[in-house]
Amino acid sequence: MHIMEGFLPGPWWQIWFAIAIPVIMYGMYRLNKLTTEKREVLPLLAVAGAFIFVLSSLKLPSITGSCSHPTGTGMAAILFGPAITAILSLIVLAYQALFLAHGGLTTLGANVFSMGIAGPVVAYAVYKMGMKFNLNFYITVFLAATMGDWTTYLVTSAELALAFPGESVFSSFKAFAAVFALTQVPLAIMEGAVTALIFKYVIQVKSDVLVKLNVISEMGIRKIKEMAA
Amino acid sequence: MNNLLDDYALMSPLRYHNNKLKLGVAIFGILAGISSASLATPIFVVFCMGIATVFFGKVPLKFYIQLMLAPMSFAIVGAVVILFFFGFGNEVFSFEIFSYRLVANAQGIDKALQVISRTAGGMSCMFFIALSTPVVELFSVLRSLKIPDSVIELSMLMYRYIFVFLEVAMSIKYAQTVRLGYKDFKRSFSSMAMLASTLFIRSWEQGEKLYLSMSSRCYDGKLSMFDARRPIGISEAILSGVYIISTIAVSYIVII
């Protein structure tokens, strides 16, 4: 769901930059604090960012046959929280623009807002809610990743609709959303399912990582393992 | 996936020129294309940047054209939406799908063409940076722009590990494919999840090792890097000057 370079006219690309920058600043502040307190986090965050990049360059199996990539941001939000995810996805998006020609520089603000801020915030909120109401862990992860993707897709449609309002912003939003829905709605469900499966394997093999990141408590893991046994 | 644009940048003869000049030229092109009302400016930018990338940067022409066509699919989907839902004016053509009438009118066509040409203009500048400046060289530019050290360091380490993990991912995927892991939808689904989770665990272990190795080599929160000094030559200064002036001229002439 990258908006290509040159697609957003002024003043919209500046506006999205203006919205994204304060969040990025806050993320940088958090990052600086974290790295001065615990220096071992920086290498871990770096490999996490590289992981997101590689994950997003893998092709998802798709029923419709269209070429599609996961965003990986839902997973990052669950693991690291939204503030750090915003920074990581800023860097990932810049690399994607330079290496793979996905997205662009003037549209970076809009892309960071939809993929790095709005999606992860929703994914994180859904995950926390699910954990609070004691929903099944995998179902919660699935819902969080799927909802995060859908949010990204709706926000991207809204960004395009605001930049190109036809008769009204709302009607053009409906048009953009309808066109992208064909690929994005099933794709998000796919990514949700894959993310849940990833967490299943990680819990089986190396669950202490998740405990260390405060994703899930020791108790929770024991419960999941008992259920599986 | 194997074909990262950075590989071309490392081989490009343009690599050995001043990085800030290259960045400046490309960013100017993006801004000129996006802020002009006419179609001519972005097309002119595509033309100039294409010549610079193919002729000076020695990128194969066929590869460059393929590259330019790839992002156009997104632009065309968006432009189709704009074409049918935007603007008023004289109806140019219309047809019916599922008893729903789609009308394209003059203003919509204008807008759609404008979006496509702007995207092409912006992408050509992006490709110019991507194909002429390796990311390694951008870090020192970032540092001189006063971006916080922690962010730059994070990007540098990430850059390094992207290649490590890409290789891991490729070899796992190869092994899975050989064992028919992607033979149907259900199989490929679980193979994909297995690949991603293995990658996550591998990268986690790698991160822990990296911290150990860095602190045993006295890492104190600052990686120093080498910044080669490359003064701007007269010929390239003149060439970029001509390019900037003529782009401005094109956008003015067409408006008048």
pLDDT at B185 over 60: yes
Residue of B nearest to A59 (CA): B192
Give the SS3 label for residue B90.
Answer: coil
More confident residue, B175 or B250: B175
Residues A14, A12: Cα–Cα separation, whole Å: 5
Do A40 and B211 lie within an 8 Å CB cutoff? yes
Do B87 and A58 lie within an 8 Å CB cutoff? no
Residues A10, A150: Cα–Cα separation, whole Å: 26
The two structure tokens encoding residue B183 = 């033979």
Span A106-117, average pLDDT = 88
Quote the minimal CA–CA distance from A133 to chain B in Å.
26
B5 touches chain A (CB under 8 A): yes
Span B54-82, average pLDDT = 79
Span B98-102, average pLDDT = 65
Span B149-168, average pLDDT = 84
Would you list the domain boundaries of chain B?
Answer: 5-133+229-255, 147-216
Burial class of residue B235 in the structure, from the number of CB atoms within 10 Å of its CB (0-12 exposed, 13-18 middle, 19+ buried):
exposed
Please name every residue paired with B105 in a beta bridge, in sequence order, or none if there are none. B91
The two structure tokens encoding residue B75 = 């632009």
Amino acid at site A212: K
Confidence of residue B168 (pLDDT cuts 50, 70, 90): confident
Span B176-199, average pLDDT = 85
Residues B194, B177: Cα–Cα separation, whole Å: 13
Nearest to B148 among A28, A88, A160 (CB): A28
The model's pLDDT over B103-129, given as tens digits with 9 standing for 90+, comes to 677 777 777 888 888 888 888 888 888
Residue by residue, what is the 3-state secondary structure of A107-134? CHHHHHHHHHHHHHHHHHHHHHHHHHCC
Quote the minimal CA–CA distance from B218 to chain A in Å.
12
DSSP structure class, residue A98:
I
The secondary structure of B165-182 as a DSSP string is HHHHHHHHHHHHHHTTTT
Residues A132, A141: Cα–Cα separation, whole Å: 13
Residues A194, B225: Cα–Cα separation, whole Å: 39
Distances, alpha carbon A224 to alpha carbons A134, A135, A137, A203, B242, in Å: 12, 12, 8, 9, 67
Do B203 and A51 lie within an 8 Å CB cutoff? yes
Best A1, A3, A4 member to test B by mutation, with max B CBs in 10 Å, is A4
Q: Produce one character per residue of A147-170: b if its CB has 16 or more CB atoms within 10 Å, e if not.
A: bbbbbbbbbbbbbbbbbbebeeee
pLDDT at A115 over 70: yes
Regarding beta strands B100-105 and B91-97, do their DSSP bridges make them parallel or antiparallel, or are they unpaired?
A: antiparallel
Q: What is the pLDDT of residue A124?
A: 93
Name the percent of chain A in helix, strand, coil, to the closest 5: 75, 0, 25
The model's pLDDT over A116-129, given as tens digits with 9 standing for 90+, comes to 899 999 999 999 99
Please name every residue paired with B100 in a beta bridge, in sequence order, or none if there are none. B97
- Mean pLDDT, chain A, rounded, equals 81
Residues B27, B121: Cα–Cα separation, whole Å: 11
pLDDT at A65 over 60: no
Quote the minimal CA–CA distance from B99 to chain A in Å.
17
Quote the minimal CA–CA distance from A145 to chain B in Å.
14
The model's pLDDT over A67-93, given as tens digits with 9 standing for 90+, comes to 456 777 888 888 888 888 888 888 888
Name the percent of chain B in helix, strand, coil, to the closest 5: 75, 5, 20
Best B2, B117, B158, B168 member to test A by mutation, with max A CBs in 10 Å, is B158
pLDDT at B251 over 60: yes
Q: Comparing C-alpha atoms, which of A172, A179, A110, A177 is closest to residue A150?
A: A177
Confidence of residue A143 (pLDDT cuts 50, 70, 90): very high
Confidence of residue B21 (pLDDT cuts 50, 70, 90): confident
B111 touches chain A (CB under 8 A): yes
Report the helix count and the strand count for chain A, using DSSP H and E: 9, 0
* Count of residues in chain B: 256
More confident residue, B145 or A15: A15
The model's pLDDT over B27-47, given as tens digits with 9 standing for 90+, comes to 888 888 888 777 888 888 888
Q: What is the pLDDT of residue B129?
A: 85
User: Do the interacting molecules here have an ipTM over 0.90?
Assistant: no
Q: What is the pLDDT of residue B1?
A: 41
B197 touches chain A (CB under 8 A): yes
Q: What is the pLDDT of residue A142?
A: 92
Do A43 and B192 lie within an 8 Å CB cutoff? no
* Structural domains of chain A in order of their starting residue, each with its CATH number: 12-228 (1.10.1760.20)
Cα angle for residues A96, A102, A107 (degrees, 5° grid): 95
Confidence of residue B256 (pLDDT cuts 50, 70, 90): low
Please name every residue paired with B93 in a beta bridge, in sequence order, or none if there are none. B104
Do A179 and B130 lie within an 8 Å CB cutoff? no
B21 touches chain A (CB under 8 A): no
More confident residue, B161 or A179: B161
Residue of B nearest to A13 (CA): B34
Are A126 and A151 in contact by the 8 Å Cβ rule? The answer is: no
Residues 6+ away with beta carbon under 8 Å from A56: A69, A70, A71, A72, A92, A96
Cα angle for residues B59, B73, B167 (degrees, 5° grid): 55
B165 touches chain A (CB under 8 A): yes
Residues A198, A21: Cα–Cα separation, whole Å: 32
Q: Which residues of B touch A4 (CB under 8 A)?
A: 71, 74-75, 119, 122-123
Lowest mean pLDDT among A46-50, B77-81, B205-209: B77-81
Amino acid at site B241: G
pLDDT at A66 over 50: no
Residues B59, B131: Cα–Cα separation, whole Å: 8
Residues B254, A26: Cα–Cα separation, whole Å: 44
Residues A17, A113: Cα–Cα separation, whole Å: 8
Cα angle for residues A13, A17, A18 (degrees, 5° grid): 115
Confidence of residue B242 (pLDDT cuts 50, 70, 90): confident
Residue of A nearest to B150 (CA): A32
Lowest mean pLDDT among A190-194, B1-5, B106-110, B230-234: B1-5
